[in-house]
Structure 1
Amino acid sequence: MNHAARWWLLSDVHLGVSDDDPRHPGSMLPEFLHREVLATAGPQPNVAFVGDTFELFGLAEDESLARLESILAHNGDMFRVLKACAEQGVQLHFVCGNHDVELARPSVAARLSALLSPAEPTRVQVHPWFLHVPHVLVAEHGHQHHALHRMPEVLRSAVNGTDELDLPPLAAWNANPSTSRLSRAGAVARACLASERAERRVREDAYDELLQTESLRLGLDGVAVRDLARLSRFRTVSALPVAATRMVLGAAGRRGAGEEAPAAAGRFARTLQAHDSGVAWYVSGHTHRALETALDACPTRYINTGTWCSDVRGRGPDQSDRRAFPYAMVDVARDGTTSGGLRYWRPDGG
């Protein structure tokens, strides 16, 4: 028999060591969790942060650990309410995004669990690639389908128990802004070559063994997981023009628009369906555009949970109202049926 459950999913909070964002996500989120999660009686509660929860990007292992502790210390209300959630039986999930991929390091994931739920660390789960609830939902940040942020061997650190992380090519451009553009361009070129090599390794037997291990954790068929890992691919010839366009638009204070579900979301959902593992909901973040829509040729419904920071890029109510914060809710009945969708929370209850 299935167990009834309720899921709250949100993404792109971008918590750092300061709270200078005009929307103050570090102050708003604890209030949301108090009112919507801790004050709600009902089925098993789950809260999933679908990537870019913390600003940890590009840090070494020791630096990641120190920064994580600093972020939680600075956001004291957030720290306390997350601990209260774990103590009261809420299952906390953290999906890695491109800004907090460091959570994939076993040492960093273990520290997060120990800080938030010292009595029962399993109340806190880190998902290096994606979260899967059989026949209910999948949640991935979405950067793995974006050439500028894709990390092909995303599982190498988490599954192998190492602390190695290969950062994406765009990171080579942004890593040290004090160096010359020529130096950074050279770093990007080297990173592109490294990504191309990594893409080849993802298709080799050694990485298939990691995928098999991950399939057991995800509760998915090994062939399905392998197919999902190969849905997207980094290609220098297509990535560099995208990077150039993004830099030009950024210099002009503009961003690329798009109000449709990305094609990768449909490919992901249809791949699951082809392996008899279809889900009702596909949830992602990354684009900072809150959106709910249907997927082509697939019964799965798409939700993008937008962002809680001020860098809103969609056309929803959160664009004009800084006190409207997007999230997804999914209710699971005992018979396995689901309901839910994209929601907006306001601290005044509106």
Structure 2
Amino acid sequence: MSRAARWVLLSDLHLDVSDDDPRHPGRVLPEFIGREVRPAPGPQQHVVFNGDTFELAGLAEGESLARLGSILSGHPDTFQALKSCAASGVQLHFVCGNHDVELARPAVAARLSALLAPNDSTRVHVHPWFLHVPSVLVAEHGHLHHALHRIPEVLRTGVNGTDELDLPPLAAWHADPAKSRLSRAGAVARACLASERAERRVRGLAYDELLQNESLRLTLDGTAVRELARLSRFRTVSALPLTATRMLLAATGRRVNGGKAPASAARFTRILETHGSPVAWYISAHTHRALESALETSPTRYVNTGTWSSDIRGDGPDQSDRKAFPYALINVADDGATSGGLRYWRPTDAG
């Protein structure tokens, strides 16, 4: 059986009910799919949306279902392009980010599948934590390594009727801008306490059962999965100063700089290597900084797929040319060898 495959990965479209973003990601995505996702016959095609595809953050299950339908209805060309992909045999993958963690709820995931692949639900895959393709790649959004956006118990979404999610500190600050700074500061403090409690539960036996089930889905060693779940940890003593810094920078119109792979990426790949599951590529997102680089002490190549929204924070060509949209392309040959990396795509009207 041929191992040849073609993986196209992009992230942080932040599609909402309207298309108000100046870069109009929902408007240009159909052309990208038409030009870059090749129809059969040929290698198996996969399109991966590596988190923050939709704006669903903080919504209850019923609200998430309604919002998801409204978003896709508000972008009819994108909706049709994705349906056509699934109908032609393309595998669509949605990795959950901090803005669309609600996709991990079984009812919301089922709704997405029913909308995009009504005749074959196996064409749509939702990954609550990360996507693992043995020997080839792992793709995770990256917010779980960022204390201000970390949701420790990501695998508990939708389990045993769980509906409400604890907001991470930065999300708690932004949840209700109409409230006073004092009230929002109190919400941040409560979010910190909730995150500390969640971190303790992640290290308990009950969560270990969820991790064991996830290890089977990911086809990874159970010990490796537990170590990955505990790789990063929320700590109030370090998170509060970081939150304050982010608030101050936002108030003055500045941003945190960063132009290299995060240390968590190297630690993640080292755990995989230790347990006999190395991969050629580690694909991340979340920072809105498109980047490709080597990882320290690891042969794995790091790629951050940046953002298709106008909130670009990197120094790449998409900063100077707003018609340059970043994505990752990973080709897999019949013998398992991989090639590819970070790419930039431009719509036809951009020349």
After TM superposition, the score normalised by the length of structure 2 is 0.97
1:287-326 to 2 correspondences below 5 Å: 287-326=287-326
* Number of equivalenced pairs: 350
Q: Distance in 2 between matches of 1:110 and 1:25?
A: 24
Shift of 1:162: 3.9
Over the matched positions of the two proteins, sequence identity in percent amounts to 75
After the TM superposition, which residues 59-138 of structure 1 pair with which residues of structure 2 at under 5 Å, given as runs? 59-138=59-138
For 2:23, the equivalent position in structure 1 comes to 23
The equivalences for 1:21-60 within 5 A come to 21-38=21-38, 42-60=42-60
Worse-matched range after superposition: 232-241 or 186-195: 186-195
Counterpart CA distance in 2 for 1:10 and 1:335 is: 25
Tell me how far apart the structure 1 counterparts of residues 227 and 135 of structure 2 sit (CA, whole Å): 18
Bigger drift between 78-87 and 243-252 goes to 243-252
Q: CA deviation at 1:3?
A: 1.6
Code of the residue aligned with 1:242 in structure 2: it is L
Q: Is the 8 A contact 1:159 1:214 kept in 2?
A: no
Contact 1:106 1:163 in 2 (8 A): no
Once residues 322 and 246 of structure 1 are traced to their aligned partners in structure 2, the CA distance between those partners, rounded to angstroms, is: 25
Alignment check: 8 A CA contact 1:104 1:157 kept = yes
1:342 is aligned to 342
Question: CA separation in 2, counterparts of 1:11 and 1:98?
Answer: 12
**Distance apart, 1:345 and its partner CA:** 0.4
Instruction: Provide the C-alpha distance between the structure 2 equivalents of 1:261 and 1:347, rounded to a whole number of angstroms.
Output: 28
Alpha-carbon distance, 1:28 to partner: 0.7
Deviation for aligned residue 1:167: 2.2
The 2-side partners of 1:4 and 1:167 are apart by 41
What is the distance in 2 between the residues matched to 1:310 and 1:173? 22
Given that 1:2 and 1:336 are in contact with CA atoms closer than 8 Å, whether structure 2 keeps it comes out as no
Q: Matches of 1:220 and 1:167 in 2, distance apart?
A: 29
1:39–1:77 Cα change, 3 Å: same
1:39 deviates by 5.3
Partner of 2:196: 196
Q: Are 1:153 and 1:198, in contact at CA under 8 Å, matched by a contact in 2? A: yes
Greater alpha carbon shift after TM alignment, 82-91 vs 309-318: 309-318
Identify the residue that residue 226 of structure 1 maps to in structure 2. Answer: 226
Q: Is the 8 A contact 2:102 2:157 kept in 1?
A: no
* Local SS of the residue matching 1:283: strand
CA offsets 1:228-271 (integer angstroms, 9 cap, x no match) = 00000000010011111111111111111110000101110111
Asked if 1 retains the 8 angstrom alpha-carbon contact of 2:4 and 2:333, the reply is yes
Distance 1:126 1:91 in 2: 11
- 1:168 deviates by 1.2
Instruction: Provide the secondary structure at the position in 2 that maps to 1:71.
Output: helix
Letter in 2 for 1:54: F
1: CA distance, partners of 2:128 / 2:2: 26
Unaligned runs of 5+ in 1: none
Q: Tell me whether 1:242 sits opposite 2:247 in the alignment.
A: no
**Could you tell me whether the CA contact under 8 Å between 2:61 and 2:108 is conserved in 1?**
yes
Q: SS in structure 2 opposite 1:196?
A: helix
Q: Can you list the C-alpha shifts for 1:290-318, whole angstroms capped at 9, x where unaligned?
A: 00000000000000000001111111110
The CA deviation string for residues 192-250 of structure 1, in whole angstroms up to 9 with x for no partner, is 11100110111111111100000000010100000000000000010011111111111
Specify the alignment match of 1:270 in structure 2: 270
Measured after TM superposition, the shift of residue 165 of structure 1 is 2.4
CA contact (8 A) 1:106 1:162 kept: no
Query: For 2:165 and 2:277, how far apart are their aligned partners in 1?
Result: 30
Distance 1:292-1:159 versus aligned 2 partners, 3 A rule: farther
* Counterparts in 2 of 1:146 and 1:7: CA distance versus 1, 3 Å: same
Q: Distance in 2 between matches of 1:112 and 1:332?
A: 28
Distance 1:40 1:324 in 2: 27
Deviation at 1:335, TM superposition (A): 1.1
Q: Distance in 2 between matches of 1:91 and 1:162?
A: 29
CA distance in 1, matches of 2:282, 2:159: 24
Q: TM-score, normalised by structure 1?
A: 0.97
- Whole-Å Cα distance in 2 between the matches of residues 132 and 27 of structure 1? 30
In structure 1, give the amino acid aligned to 2:344: Y
User: Root-mean-square deviation (CA), in Å?
Assistant: 1.3
- 1:179 is displaced (CA, Å) by 1.7
Deviation, 1:38, is: 4.2
Q: Could you tell me which amino acid in structure 1 is paired with residue 273 of structure 2?
A: Q
Tell me the CA shift for residue 42 of structure 1. Answer: 2.4
Contact 1:156 1:162 in 2 (8 A): yes
What one-letter code is carried by the residue in structure 2 that aligns with 1:57?
A: A
Q: Does 1:155 align with 2:155?
A: yes
User: In structure 2, what is the Cα distance between the partners aligned to 1:95 and 1:142?
Assistant: 10
